[in-house]
Amino acid sequence: MSVALQLVVSGLALGSIYALIALSLVIINKATDVVNFAQGEMAMLGTFACLAALSALKLPLWLVMLGAFPLGLAFGALVERLAMRPLSGGPPINALIATIGLFLVFHHLAGWIWGYDPYRFPSLFSNEPVVVLEARISQASLGILAVSLGVMALLYLFYERTRTGIAMRAASMNRRAARLMGIDVGRVSMTAWGLATGLSLVAGLLIAPLTFLDFEMMVIVLLKAFAGAILGGFNSLPGAVIGCLVIGVVENLFGAYVSTAFKDAFAFGIIVVVLMARPAGLFTRRVGTKV
Amino acid sequence: MNRYLWMATIAALVLIPLFVSNYGWYLLAVTMVYALVALSLSILVGMAGQISIGHAGFWALGAYASAIAMQHFAVPFILAIFVGALVAAAFGALVALPALRVSGHYLAIATLAFAILVQQVLFEWESVTGGRQGLAVPRPSLLGEELQSDFSYYYLLLALFLAAAWMTRNLRRSFTGRSMMALRMSAVAAQCAGISRARHIILAFALSAFLTGLSGALYGSLIGRLSTETFSLSASLSFLTMAVIGGLGSEVGALLGAAFLAVAPEVLRQFKDAEMVIYGVILLLCMLFLPHGLASLGRRWIFSK
């Protein structure tokens, strides 16, 4: 029982990291109808930049952690303005290919600059486990959960309470009407990319101490996040979070009790089954199309 | 005009191998192998408007099925490649089932899931596929003669590509192809006109998987050894990329995209670590300045005269 509890908590922690990336994907998709394949790589590159700030400038870890979000914000906004904005209005598959291009650029840029060996990344949390109900739960898992839930709460407030957040929601519902109401849709898409990259950079900083930092780190995380977001319906932010938490827990349990070899394939197996049964995901209602 | 363009292209494809050497033949052969995949995507994405980021899965199925048919059941090469293609086509029809219910990003993840499952099963099923060690594939042979050099193999690949391109072209102009395009433009309108969506989507997936499976089988014999790493997500993404870079709307586009995918890494190799960074930048620039692919470059050039 205590082992199961340990697995569930570490699964939730992993799932919450997937969830941050999934939120990034959904935010960009809602604002621009693009699935950003480069999201994970942008997080990875940003994490490398943070590591450089830690080791070269000798900045304290907490300061780098706080600076990560604004750094991601600027990076994402810049990428949107330079690479993605000119493609808006073109065929959707071209925007998809462009994000694959960005993926390749960032992926190999990191390898080029920092080499292909994994780096150790310092963690804010100590290794000493906390004992709850006889289960030894690592502080890192709890810390990750706390940080990501905190970030998600802030995101919720941003969407509900700020003018920009409300403008972004309006633009995702009906871009044309939003434009007529004076919302700058270009700025919305830039904000979305910035916000998404900020979130995913936080995810990168959280996962790097667990997996070591290297240029391959985020590829599988991105796929899991994508799967989780699909499970939740891809258009719903809370749905994406729940979908990812489910994936994190289920794959942890499957890996421990059934088969490690098929752990990754299993996560995708569920997705196919869910898509067959509920094509719009678990948490979004299917909307009939108007003819 | 179009006919002359085609004749010139074919003449060039027949003559080029005479002017290059060993490695050039290999690159040409790889280009033909990729071109079949690009054709298959021009059917699936270009005509039917479906998306797949799992074509490496069909490619792998074709490659392994044909290799196993040759190794374990002594099926001659020319039949084995079609065994590979048919196995892939059967799975293509199966993958089409989720496509009937979902589209867009959902379909992308479903095809991706399929490719990952295929890769993992091939990796773990060691007794049949060799798993980690990989699987040796015999050289291609024709009428009992082994095609020792890539020079002769290239001509066989060229013939297969031209046949496939001709069929794709005819499909594009046939009732079935037009139906697929109508469904892409407006599924509702097409269905009102009596076109069965399910039938055409399953057909598009099966045809596309058939060509990709064929290409995989041919690739296996070209390389001589299969390993599951070849059939990763990045292969699927490269395929989609090459099809869009070339241009989804034409057979020449498929050829150009394939040549790009085969040749660009060779040209960029001299930049060492920067190789793939430059490749990515080229992709971005192509999307920015050539949204309809390399094939539109030729059209633009001809019509501007």
Distance, in Å, from the CA atom of B280 to the CA atom of B259, rounded to the nearest integer, reads: 16
Using the predicted structure, report yes or no on whether residue A130 has a pLDDT greater than 50. yes
**Cβ–Cβ gap B288/A87 under 8 Å:** yes
Nearest by CB to residue B109, choosing from A108, A230, A262, is A230
Give A-chain residues touching B277 at CB under 8 angstroms: 104-105, 108-109, 112
Task: Quote the tokens at residue B92.
Answer: 């293509």
Provide the 8-state DSSP code for B145.
Answer: E
The alpha helices in A33-60, defined as continuous H runs, are 39-56
Distance, in Å, from the CA atom of A236 to the CA atom of A225, rounded to the nearest integer, reads: 14
The mean pLDDT of A120-130, rounded to a whole number, is 78
More confident residue, A263 or A157: A157
Residue A89: which residues within 8 A CB-CB, separation 6 or more? none
More confident residue, B299 or A224: A224
Residue pair B98/B204 in contact by the 8 Å Cβ criterion: no
Residue A73's pLDDT is 93
Residue A7's pLDDT is 87
More confident residue, B296 or A283: B296
Residue B293's pLDDT is 80
Q: How many CB atoms lie within 10 A of CB A242?
A: 19
Distance, in Å, from the CA atom of A255 to the CA atom of A34, rounded to the nearest integer, reads: 32
Q: What is the ipTM of this complex?
A: 0.82
The alpha helices in chain B, defined as continuous H runs, are 2-15, 22-41, 55-73, 77-101, 105-124, 126-129, 150-173, 175-185, 187-192, 197-223, 233-246, 251-268, 275-289, 294-303
Provide the 8-state DSSP code for A213.
Answer: B
Q: How confident is the model at residue A257 (pLDDT cuts 50, 70, 90)?
A: confident
Percent of chain A with pLDDT over 70: 95
Residue B301's pLDDT is 65
**Cβ–Cβ gap B101/A109 under 8 Å:** no
Residue of B nearest to A289 (CA): B188
Please provide the size of chain B in residues: 305
Using the predicted structure, report yes or no on whether residue A60 has a pLDDT greater than 90. no
pTM beyond 0.90: the answer is: no
Residue pair A137/A128 in contact by the 8 Å Cβ criterion: no
Q: Using the Cα atoms of residue A219, residue A225, residue A228 and residue A232 in order, give the sign of their dihedral.
A: negative
Q: Write phi, then psi, for A239 (nearest 5 degrees).
A: -60, -45
Residue pair A205/A47 in contact by the 8 Å Cβ criterion: yes
Residue pair A41/A102 in contact by the 8 Å Cβ criterion: yes
Which has the closest alpha carbon to B236: B55, B105, B92?
B55
Which has the closest alpha carbon to A104: B53, B31, B282?
B282
Please provide the size of chain A in residues: 291
Assess A103–B contact: CB distance below 8 Å, yes or no: yes
Give B-chain residues touching A105 at CB under 8 angstroms: 277, 280-281, 284
Placement of tokens 């990729």 in the chain: B34
The alpha helices in chain A, defined as continuous H runs, are 2-32, 39-56, 61-79, 92-114, 139-161, 163-173, 175-180, 185-211, 217-232, 237-257, 263-277
Each as own residue / partner, the long-range contacts of residues A168-173 (CB below 8 Å, 24 or more positions apart, any chain) are A168/A30, A168/A31, A168/A192, A171/A31, A172/A30, A172/A31
Nearest by CB to residue A97, choosing from B110, B113, B241, is B241
Distance, in Å, from the CA atom of A19 to the CA atom of B263, rounded to the nearest integer, reads: 39
Q: Give 10-residue mean pLDDT values along chain B (305 residues).
A: 77 83 87 93 90 91 92 86 93 86 77 86 82 80 74 88 92 92 89 89 93 94 86 86 87 89 86 84 86 76 56
Chain B: give the shortest CA distance to residue A243, in Å: 14
Residue of A96, A236, A254, A258 for testing the chain B interface, max B β-carbons within 10 Å: A96
Q: How confident is the model at residue A57 (pLDDT cuts 50, 70, 90)?
A: confident
Residue B305's pLDDT is 46
**Angle ∠(B50,B51,B52) on CA atoms, nearest 5:** 130
Provide the 8-state DSSP code for B42.
Answer: I
Residue A28's pLDDT is 92
Residue A190's pLDDT is 92
Distance, in Å, from the CA atom of B201 to the CA atom of B181, rounded to the nearest integer, reads: 11
Provide the 8-state DSSP code for A38.
Answer: T
Residue A195's pLDDT is 93
**Cβ–Cβ gap A108/B280 under 8 Å:** yes
Residue of B97, B102, B109, B271 for testing the chain A interface, max A β-carbons within 10 Å: B109
Cα distances (Å, whole numbers) of residue B13 to B10, B20, B158, B259, B301:
5, 12, 8, 12, 21
Distance, in Å, from the CA atom of A140 to the CA atom of A123, rounded to the nearest integer, reads: 8
Q: Write phi, then psi, for B226 (nearest 5 degrees).
A: -100, 135
Residue of B91, B105, B236, B244 for testing the chain A interface, max A β-carbons within 10 Å: B105
